[in-house]
Amino acid sequence: MAKLFESIGKLGLALAIGGGVVNSALFNVDAGHRAVIFDRFRGVQDIVVGEGTHFLIPWVQKPIIFDCRSRPRNVPVITGSKDLQNVNITLRILFRPVATQLPRIFTSIGEDYDERVLPSITTEVLKAVVARFDAGELITQRELVSRQVSEDLTERASTFGLILDDVSLVKTSAFLCFCFSSLPCLTLIYSLPSDTSDVWQGVHRGC
């Protein structure tokens, strides 16, 4: 009887160890996600793993899961117009990575690619586009400005393996400064939210 219990115990231990090994060799990729495999000996693999349950080598390989669904991000930027007025613009971006380029994105940028890339390229593109227009033109030619920002930013993002599904100006505020020889300078704050009509936010002394 003692030998029987000993055999059962050994069998249970073997099953537990085997189950742990099998469990550690499986990983899931949820819908809308993709995985990149990091191998301790060979580095990042070129293969992108799709949705479903997959095998890997335990303790040697590690899955890096990426969300490939379109996600929003708002980026506020303060920059100067062509006539040297301060302009405050908030840009809303819907972005997602190119699935086939995930190994390159992970290797060259990292898992937090959106934090590293989007703010910098958005600021770069907005500064370049806004500098082509006077402060007043940024308000009156909003559609043209938005289209140029979208085209330039989409092209710039593609070099990092990113797709921009939508780029829109959420809010544009121009700080227009007027100075007269016999009067103090006045700053007129002109705001154009995306869902309302033009709004003069206020008048302040000094520029």
pLDDT grade for 135, boundaries at 50, 70 and 90: confident
Q: How far apart, in Å, are the Cα atoms of 173 and each of 40, 54, 89, 117, 166? A: 50, 50, 6, 25, 21
Q: Examine the domain organization and report whether 200 and 171 are in the same domain.
A: yes
Contact 31, 62 (CB under 8 A): no
User: Domain of 122: which CATH number?
Assistant: 3.30.479.30
**Crossing angle of the two packed helices 142-158 and 113-130, in degrees rounded to 10:** 140
Q: Which of 56-60, 68-72, 93-97, 159-163 comes out lowest in average pLDDT? A: 56-60
Q: Examine the domain organization and report whether 105 and 34 are in the same domain.
A: no
Q: How many residues does the chain have?
A: 207
Q: Which residues pair with 166 in a beta bridge?
A: 94
**Three-state SS letters, 140-205:** HCHHHHHHHHHHHHHHHHHCCCEEEEEEEEEEEEEEEEEEECCEEEEEEEEEEECCCCCEEEEEEE
Contact 82, 131 (CB under 8 A): yes
pLDDT tens-digit series, residues 37-90: 999 999 999 999 999 999 998 889 999 999 999 999 999 999 998 988 888 899
Range of the domain at 45: 2-65
pLDDT at residue 148 tops 80: yes
Q: Examine the domain organization and report whether 106 and 31 are in the same domain.
A: no
Last residue of a domain, one of 42, 65, 88: 65
Q: Examine the domain organization and report whether 49 and 142 are in the same domain.
A: no
pTM: 0.76
Arithmetic mean of pLDDT, 120-139: 92
Q: Examine the domain organization and report whether 158 and 182 are in the same domain.
A: yes
Counting the structural domains of the chain, the total is 2
Please give the mean pLDDT across all residues of the chain: 81
Q: Examine the domain organization and report whether 158 and 59 are in the same domain.
A: no
Q: Examine the domain organization and report whether 127 and 162 are in the same domain.
A: yes
Last residue of a domain, one of 48, 65, 82: 65
pLDDT grade for 193, boundaries at 50, 70 and 90: low
* 41-77: b (≥16 Cβ within 10 Å) or e: eeeeeeebbeeeeeebeeeebeebebebeeeeeebeb
**What's the distance, CA 121 to chain centroid?**
11
pLDDT grade for 3, boundaries at 50, 70 and 90: low
Q: Examine the domain organization and report whether 126 and 201 are in the same domain.
A: yes
Q: Examine the domain organization and report whether 47 and 78 are in the same domain.
A: no
User: CA-to-CA distance for 116 and 100, rounded, in angstroms?
Assistant: 20
How many C-beta neighbours within 10 Å does residue 24 have? 12
